[in-house]
Structure 1
Amino acid sequence: MSNNQFTVPSPPEGQDLAKTPMRFEATPIPVTDFDRAKAFYQQLGWRLDIDVRISDKLRAVQFTPPGSPASIQFGPAGAAPLQRLIVVVEDIEAARAELVQRGIDVSEIWHGALGQPPEPGRDPEGRSYTSQASFTDPDENRWVLQEVTERIPGRV
């Protein structure tokens, strides 16, 4: 496998960055059955923030992954399932093992550098952003565990 190198300018040179802080807080994910989806995300061990029935036709459900500042909110089905929702973990093997222990069907771990096809197993060099595993929720929204041990400069 070739060792593709890429550089990220830090600070981002020549970029006109916004001055007003903006924080990504939540994203809706399409679900067909709120109770089934709620049971799945509870099985993951994610924190249930709210479950409020506003009317017979409107319900608000929100979960937050452990340690994450961003959450998911259940939205009505209709759109295509979301793909490659990335959840960053420090230890992909431990994260995968915990999910499997919780009864979640998680893929085997794979790794791949930019522009290269994925290969089985964790990245032998332990590089950040290259080792991954995935799982889907009952509505086929696809989540990817991505191991990050060293952040791109300028990232939180």
Structure 2
Amino acid sequence: MNWTLEVVVVPVSDVDRSVEFYKKLGFNVDHNTKTSDGVHFVQLTPPGSGCSIVIGTGMSKMVPGSLEGLQLVVNDVRAARAELVERGVEVGEVMVFGPDGPVPSKGDEDLNNVGFIFLSDPDGNSWAVQQITSRP
């Protein structure tokens, strides 16, 4: 039996502002639904992903900005960073994880599995973007 993770709720304070942010990241809006005055939810999916995020109001007790450790995977973290910067997303420099923890990239390393960039949404929910070009 397969068990697939398909939705993660991301707590936000302003749905419209968050939708615009995630669209800058390249997420597609799957649906945007208001079921009543107090319930509004939007499902967004990154290109190529089988898992979506849901943001909204009236659906979670989590505090906006309290979610940490969300991770996206790309095959070229440097190109992903350049694309995000071009779209106006505030994103950290490329970091390389090694035995002494993360250090700034020198620009010539093999980043497979060890190259990351970090960013946060407008509420402070934190994201990592990891480069994986091959898997064992």
Change (3 A) 1:31 1:112: same
Q: Distance in 1 between matches of 2:8 and 2:75?
A: 23
Asked if 1:108 is matched to 2:89, the reply is no
Q: Is residue 129 from structure 1 mapped to residue 109 from structure 2 by the alignment?
A: no
How is 1:80-99 mapped onto 2 (pairs within 5 angstroms)? 81-99=66-84
Identity across the alignment (%): 38
How much is the aligned-residue C-alpha RMSD, in angstroms?
A: 1.7
The corresponding residue for 1:6 is none
- Matching of residue 45 in structure 1 with residue 29 in structure 2: no
1:1-156 counterparts in 2 under 5 A?
Answer: 20-75=1-56, 76=60, 78-79=62-63, 81-113=66-98, 115-121=99-105, 124-152=108-136
How much has 1:43 moved relative to structure 2? Answer: 1.8
Pairs aligned (count): 132
Unaligned stretches of 5+ residues in structure 2: none
Q: Deviations over 1:67-123 (max 9, x none)?
A: 11111011546436211211001000110000000000010001012x422111168
Q: Which runs of 5+ in 1 are unaligned?
A: 1-19
Larger radius of gyration: 1
| In structure 1, C-alpha distance between the alignment counterparts of 2:111 and 2:79, rounded to whole Å | 16
More strand per residue = 2
Q: State the AA in 2 paired with 1:136.
A: S
Match for residue 12 of structure 1? none
Q: Tell me what 1:11 maps to.
A: none
Provide closer, same or farther for how the CA distance between residues 40 and 127 of structure 1 changes in structure 2, counting only shifts above 3 A: closer
> Following the alignment from structure 1 to structure 2, what is the Cα–Cα distance between the partners of residues 112 and 123?
14
Cα deviation, 1:28-79, whole Å, max 9, x if unaligned, reads 0100111111111112221000101000101120110111111101154643
